């Protein structure tokens, strides 16, 4: 039987899709169709769509303290709070717009040359502003083929978290820090990792957290899988007790698909809660 206090989370990363004109309706449809008990839902639209999504979710659909509703997240934040950084958005600027943010997504590592050291600073900036964070880690295909996947993720975590006291990162918020294991070769490619491989990497992630000094050996930190997740393959990941949900890219733009993913994740959430009841 699965026994875990960790929440089940499904986060949608809309990447550079949607506009302020259509994002609100998409968010409203996803929120309405994916209402499932005990699954924390997060939508991460582009910055310019945050207000539209936030407004569309206002009222019963918006995130509540008990985890119901849908939370709004950003896809990135700058590592400083203010300054001469043309085109950048800082964590404090997101007040009233977003309560979560992704940091370290592989597309930003690739396109904006973000290093683990910089990502660590972003993480701290986000937490200092009270944002809940999803830190992405994951290996390239060549790393996996060379048997180096665990080493890569271990190094990413150690560097990203080097400047952070674990207690300061999580604070009192059980959702303060979530790690998304996203093998780069599986993102947007239609290829996905096997559930057992993702579970092994979740183990490596928690081993790294434990050695950094996280309480309870990192057992309290949710670990998501990301990489071409759909309603057809989500079960493989949710069947793994060490995996606590998914970071979903392409499929999160399709309301029925997102609803089906959340529904499947809800079965795991119910099983965990049932075991604890
Ligand atoms: C992502 O954007 O983090 C992601 C996993 O994308 P996709 O689901 O499209 O692979």
**DSSP per residue, 188-218:** TSS----HHHHHHHHHHHHHHHHHHT-GGGG
Which residues have C-beta atoms less than 6 Å from ligand 1?
Answer: 13, 15, 182, 187-188, 226-229, 247-251
Pick 37 or 258 by higher pLDDT.
258
Measured in whole angstroms, the distance separating CA 52 from the mean position of its chain's CA atoms is 21
Query: Would you say the pTM of this structure is higher than 0.85?
Result: yes
Closest residue (by CA) to atom 1 of ligand 1? 249
Q: What pLDDT is attached to residue 3? A: 44
Q: What pLDDT is attached to residue 276? A: 47
Nearest to 181 by CA among 116, 245, 253, 101: 245
Q: What pLDDT is attached to residue 102? A: 98
Closest residue (by CA) to atom 8 of ligand 1? 249
Q: What pLDDT is attached to residue 44? A: 98
**CB-based contacts of 238: which residues, under 8 Å, 6+ apart?**
8, 245, 264, 265, 267, 268
List the structure tokens of 176. 């303060």
List the structure tokens of 106. 């592989």
Q: Cα dihedral angle (148, 149, 150, 154), rounded to 10 degrees?
A: 100
Closest residue (by CA) to atom 4 of ligand 1? 249
95 vs 161: CA distance, rounded Å: 24
Q: What pLDDT is attached to residue 235? A: 97
257 vs 243: CA distance, rounded Å: 20
Query: pLDDT band at residue 68, thresholds of 50, 70 and 90?
Result: low
Query: In the predicted model, what is the mean pLDDT of residues 253-274?
Result: 95
Q: Give catalytic residues, as residue numbers.
A: 105, 182
Mutate to test the pocket of ligand 1, among 187, 190, 252, 253 (most ligand atoms within 8 A of CB): 187
Q: What pLDDT is attached to residue 48? A: 98
274 in Cβ contact with 1 (< 8 Å): no
Nearest to 15 by CA among 60, 59, 45, 51: 45
Query: In the predicted model, what is the mean pLDDT of residues 77-87?
Result: 98
Mutate to test the pocket of ligand 1, among 75, 101, 182 (most ligand atoms within 8 A of CB): 182
Task: Enumerate the β-bridge partners of residue 200.
Answer: none
Ligand 1 atom with the smallest distance to the CA of 189 is: 10
Mutate to test the pocket of ligand 1, among 183, 191, 249 (most ligand atoms within 8 A of CB): 249
**CB-based contacts of 172: which residues, under 8 Å, 6+ apart?**
none
Closest residue (by CA) to atom 7 of ligand 1? 249
Q: What pLDDT is attached to residue 63? A: 64
Helix (H, G, I), strand (E, B) or coil at 245: strand
User: What is the distance in A from the centroid of ligand 1 to the CA of 128?
Assistant: 27
Determine the straight-line distance between the first and last CA of the chain, rounded to whole angstroms.
13
Q: Is 90 exceeded by the pLDDT of residue 82?
A: yes
Q: What pLDDT is attached to residue 59? A: 64
Ligand 1 atom with the smallest distance to the CA of 252 is: 8
144 in Cβ contact with 183 (< 8 Å): yes
User: What is the distance in A from the centroid of ligand 1 to the CA of 164?
Assistant: 27
Burial class (CB in 10 A: 0-12, 13-18, 19+), 147: exposed
């Amino acid at each position: 039987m699965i026994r875990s206090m960790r929440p089940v989370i499904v986060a949608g990363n809309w990447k550079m899709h949607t506009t302020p004109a259509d994002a609100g309706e998409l968010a409203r449809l996803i929120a309405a169709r994916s209402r499932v008990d005990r699954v924390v839902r997060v939508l991460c639209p582009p910055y310019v769509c945050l207000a539209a999504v936030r407004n569309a979710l206002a009222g019963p659909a918006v995130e509540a303290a008990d985890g119901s509703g849908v939370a709004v997240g950003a896809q990135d934040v700058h590592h400083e709070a203010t300054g001469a950084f043309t085109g950048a958005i800082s964590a404090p600027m997101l007040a009233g717009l977003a309560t979560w943010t992704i940091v370290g997504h592989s597309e930003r590592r690739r396109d904006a040359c973000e290093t683990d050291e910089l990502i660590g600073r972003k993480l701290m900036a986000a937490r200092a502003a009270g944002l809940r964070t999803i830190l992405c880690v994951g290996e390239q295909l060549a790393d996996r083929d060379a048997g180096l996947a665990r080493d890569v993720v271990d190094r990413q975590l150690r560097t990203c978290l080097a400047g952070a006291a674990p207690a300061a990162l999580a604070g009192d918020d059980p959702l303060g820090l979530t790690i998304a294991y996203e093998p780069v070769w599986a993102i947007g490619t239609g290829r996905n990792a096997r559930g057992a491989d993702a579970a092994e990497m979740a183990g490596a992630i928690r081993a790294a957290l434990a050695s950094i000094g996280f309480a309870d050996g990192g057992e309290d930190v949710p670990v998501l899988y990301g990489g071409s997740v759909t309603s057809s393959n989500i079960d493989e990941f949710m069947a793994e007790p060490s995996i606590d949900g998914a970071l979903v890219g392409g499929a999160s733009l399709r309301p029925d698909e997102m609803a089906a993913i959340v529904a499947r994740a809800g079965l795991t959430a119910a099983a965990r809660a049932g075991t604890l009841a």
